[in-house]
Amino acid sequence: MMKWIGRIFSALFYTGVLVMIAVIVFAKASGGEPELFGYQLKTVLSGSMEPGIQTGSVIAVKKAEDPMSFQPGDVITYLENENRVTTHRIVETVKSGQHVMYITKGDNNEEADSQPVLAENVLAAYTGVTVPYIGYGLNFLQTNNGALLLIIPGILLLMYSIVTVWKAISGIQVAVKKEKVS
């Protein structure tokens, strides 16, 4: 019984590792963000949304279909400038003609952000899914040095496969020798 539980646990662990590696490799190959089942995975690098979203967490966000439909209380991910993406809570909606702007604030910040967010700059809405601490590793894997670490699980899986095949062949050879002797 313990052997089966160990095998199931190992299979789930290796499946999870392979899925994470595949997500990262596909994201690297496409030049985009890691995406899983239509949800983008974002790494939280600051404490502005603590305690709800901790630094180093990975959050799932869904692409904004109608960036002008958000309301105060919604948590959005937006392009703050050309190189910076931020996730904060909307505290106020400002409409000016056909334009919509959002006043945002990090839950852990005392004051609202100094610049309003244009609806056109909203990329996604936070889904409420947070996985703590994985963001540190995911962020490292997206660097050039971290990409080299993707090779290690591949080598380990290859070695495991070789050992498994070698044991199977050895078992067959022993069985054939026993049969010839009989």
Which residues are identified as catalytic? Answer: 46
Give residue for tokens 């380990």: 156
Whether cis (ω within 30° of 0) applies to the bond prior to 72 is no
> Could you tell me if residue 72 is left (phi over 0), alpha (psi between -120 and 50 degrees) or otherwise beta?
beta
Q: How far apart are CA 44 and CA 35, in angstroms?
A: 15
Q: Where are the alpha helices (DSSP H) in 102-181?
A: 134-141, 144-148, 151-181
Half-sphere exposure in the Cβ direction for 155 (13 Å, CA): 5
Q: Where are the alpha helices (DSSP H) in 41-149?
A: 134-141, 144-148
Other Cβ atoms less than 10 A from the Cβ of 65: the count is: 8
Q: How far apart are CA 43 and CA 132, in angstroms?
A: 10
